Amino acid sequence: MRHTRSKTIVMGLYLKKELENEATIGVWQITETEEELKALSATPADEMEEISFIGSESLRKQRLAVRALLNALFDEKVYLSHHDNGKPYLENNPVNISITHTEKYVAVILHEEEDCGIDIESLDRDFSAVEKKALSEDEIDDLEEEKRNEQLAIYWCAKEAIFKLLSRYNVDFAEQIEIERFRPRGEGELEATYIDKNEDEEEFDLEYMTFDRHVLVWVVGD
């Protein structure tokens, strides 16, 4: 899966990537104050009231940064909402969307036709719990001690991205999502298999990149 990359700096717009499968990825680096993000995001009043009740300033800024990123990616104003299961959608645009965020970055992936998923994590986190929680025995055997935390982060992001694409309840990450063996690099491709409750299998191709001590993984359905 090849892609072209372009990097544009528009305020906090850190990266805009157009993929060959016609998906678009946008990444926003959160460097603004909360007030600056409010101005950039043009968040509707009812949603702004909801955000104001969030106790954490960091989480408020992440929510606002998502809206600012959408403003940078779309020519027209779009309105973000969520289904009952938490999956995001745009009220006035049929494009499929997935969203992810950390304290420093928010990211989205968009596709006109296919479901998609994206996840970002900071490599400054300790991912040791992921090994027992989300990895199969084969995946654990494939871990390399030298890059263990980075590898665990990529595993976790990949499984989260697939989980978001599938939008299904009660998915067992260790038993139902299998990532083929890989060696962590600055960027690369991953192969994965999802096994449903009836033992039917679905294969996925993912891509990942690392930047500024973060890992970003995305997937688009076929």
pLDDT digits (tens, 9 = 90+) for 146-205: 999 999 999 999 999 999 999 988 999 999 999 999 999 999 999 999 999 889 999 999
Residue 55's alpha-carbon distances to 58, 109, 115, in angstroms, are 9, 27, 32
Give the pLDDT band (50/70/90) at residue 11: low
CA angle 62, 63, 65 (to 5 degrees): 60
Decide if pLDDT at 222 tops 90.
no
Q: Which domains can be identified in the chain, with CATH numbers? A: 13-113 (3.90.470.20), 121-220 (3.90.470.20)
The one-character DSSP state at 215 is: E
Helix (H) or strand (E) run with residue 12 in it: none
Measuring CA to CA, which residue among 101, 91, 94 is closest to residue 60? 101
Question: Would you say how long the chain is, in residues?
Answer: 222
pLDDT in tens, 55-96: 999 999 999 999 999 999 999 989 999 998 889 999 999 999
Helix (H) or strand (E) run with residue 28 in it: strand 24-29
Q: How high is the pLDDT of residue 4?
A: 39
Q: How high is the pLDDT of residue 6?
A: 39
